[in-house]
Amino acid sequence: EPEVTQTPSHQVTQMGQEVILRCVPISNHLYFYWYRQILGQKVEFLVSFYNNEISEKSEIFDDQFSVERPDGSNFTLKIRSTKLEDSAMYFCASSYDRGRVNYGYTFGSGTRLTVV
């Protein structure tokens, strides 16, 4: 079964450093997403991406965050200057339209980001 792959599984970084979280969405999917989950809390939407541009972003997704699809397979989330409160699990997801209905919304296993 196709999977969304995320690397690394765990990243530790110092406050103020830049981090890049990487994702390989399912190959025929068109829509890409990042979510985060602070420990013990619900999953929160960060951003959606389609046709090489952001479709929607949440208020969490401020100027410190950016996304990029640098090639035909990878989808990255960059945090420019990490803060302690950025510590969370970050999930990548992807989906596609089948007919007129969004389909196959699949999440990766996540990257646990720890900011120290």
Q: Which residues of this chain interact with other proteins, rule CB under 8 A?
A: 4, 31, 33, 35, 41-45, 48-50, 55-56, 58, 91, 93, 95, 97, 100-102, 105-110
Q: With respect to other proteins, which residue has the nearer C-beta, 15 or 54? A: 54
The letter for the amino acid at 41 is Q
Task: Tokens for 77, please give them.
Answer: 């989330």
Burial class (CB within 10 angstroms; exposed 0-12, middle 13-18, buried 19+) of 58 = middle
Smallest distance from the beta carbon of 107 to other proteins, in angstroms?
A: 4
Q: With respect to other proteins, which residue has the nearer C-beta, 41 or 81? A: 41
Q: With respect to other proteins, which residue has the nearer C-beta, 24 or 43? A: 43
**CB half-sphere exposure, 35, CA atoms < 13 A:** 16
